[in-house]
Amino acid sequence: MVVKEYDSPCGVLYMASIGNELCLCSWHGLSACHGFISDFKDASDYKEEWDVLEKAERELEEYFEGMRQTFDIPLKMFGTEFQKKVWNALLGIPYGETVSYSNVARLIGLPRSTRAVANACSKNPLSIFVPCHRVVSTQGKLTGYAGGVEVKRKLLDLERADMLFGVSLDA
């Protein structure tokens, strides 16, 4: 596993890769790993892992410059089956749009699990790549986010500005 800091326009993100997949992009450093790193025993290739982090950094730079709306980086999700179900659902939220936690709960077929969905979003170890910043309250209010509500607002403003001006420059 390789770890790297990325100084984003919204603050420092900590990224890690295992094998040829990104497994962490967090505002809170390695504490967001929820213990999965110590459980991962497979041998890996340092160069391959470093290449993944370099690609992730390029994709983030393009995202923050308004030139990327989707990501191509392969992701390794460590979490419970429920968390992975929620995180995979988040991947389907279009750039520049928001959905509520209750919408996500319905989407995964568990309409009474709104609080559990919110909890899974709070444990998302792949911020921005798995866009939990696009999930809001039923009333449309910005609620908790690992990077802080102000970072969530900046990310949504970035995406909405791109949509407002018709920018569609996916790399």
Catalytic residue among 10, 33, 121, 132: 132
Q: Cα dihedral angle (56, 60, 62, 66), rounded to 10 degrees?
A: 150
Check if 121 is active-site: no
* Inter-residue contact 9 to 128 (CB < 8 Å): no
Pairwise CA distance, residues 14 & 137, whole Å: 27
Provide the annotated active-site residues. Answer: 132
